[in-house]
Amino acid sequence: MRRLGIAAALVLAAVVALWIAALKLLPDAPADRPRPVPASTAAVAQLPGLLHVPVRGVARSALRDSWGDARAGGARAHHGLDIPAPAGTPVEAAAAGMVEKLFESHDGGTTVYVRSPDRRWSYYYAHLAGYAPGLAEGQAVQVGTPLGFVGDTGNAGAGNFHLHFGLSRTAPDQHWAQGEEVDPFPYLVGRAPRR
């Protein structure tokens, strides 16, 4: 009987150890905030993973989630992540892909759209002061490839130097500016998005 008790205690200890190990493998829970990403098996299979911080020299710990913050006096919600940095700081590709569009827009100013190799993600870089030398549509980029420089173009406001980084889930046949906007913050700081 005593052997049975010892065996049961060992089995219980092993189960507890496995449970603790499994908890350590799970990602940290993000802040309790609604996220626009719908839960679905297809969506989970397409997650882009941890992204490179697209402004050179900015630490992950310095990033602040600005998704949903009021803009234009409350007329619209912010859909992206603003990364403040000094004017002219290099902006780098957050993920591998292809430069799909170099675009000058009223709101985003000087912008770059990069599409993932499977065309299921679009990475948007806005308010740039200018493009990296030689950057061209159709160009393949790797993580860290220079794309441009932090600026205040578009509706950023004079002297409000930052990169607006956007992330969209797209279908392969969608246009470069289409797709479902997704909060990029969890993908830059290493937290699982809320589903």
Assess if residue 32 is contained within a domain.
Answer: no
| Number of domains within the chain | 1
Q: What is the pLDDT of residue 105?
A: 92
Distance between start and end Cα atoms, the chain: 48
> How do strand 90-92 and strand 162-169 relate by DSSP bridges?
unpaired
Of 6-15, 113-122, 125-134, 174-183, the poorest mean pLDDT is in 6-15
Is it the case that residue 36 has pLDDT exceeding 60? no
Rounded Cα distance between 151 and 54, Å, is 14
Assess if residue 7 is contained within a domain.
Answer: no
pLDDT digits (tens, 9 = 90+) for 135-183: 999 999 999 999 999 999 988 889 999 999 999 999 999 988 889 999 9
DSSP 8-state symbol, 62:
G
Residues β-bridged to residue 180? 169
What is the rounded average pLDDT of the residues 181-188? Answer: 90
Q: What is the pLDDT of residue 174?
A: 92
pTM: 0.73
**Token pair belonging to 41:** 């098996």
| CATH number (domain holding residue 122) | 2.70.70.10
Assess if residue 16 is contained within a domain.
Answer: no
Rounded Cα distance between 82 and 64, Å, is 8
Assess if residue 73 is contained within a domain.
Answer: yes
pLDDT digits (tens, 9 = 90+) for 65-76: 886 665 656 666
Q: Which helix (H) or strand (E) holds 103?
A: strand 97-105
Torsion angles phi and psi, residue 154, rounded to 5:
70, -140
Of 33-47, 82-96, 155-169, the poorest mean pLDDT is in 33-47
User: Nearest Cα to 156, choosing from 100, 102, 91, 85?
Assistant: 85
Q: What is the pLDDT of residue 80?
A: 85
Question: In this structure, are residues 93 and 141 in contact, taking their beta carbons and an 8 Å threshold?
Answer: yes
Residues β-bridged to residue 111? 103
Arithmetic mean of pLDDT over the chain: 79
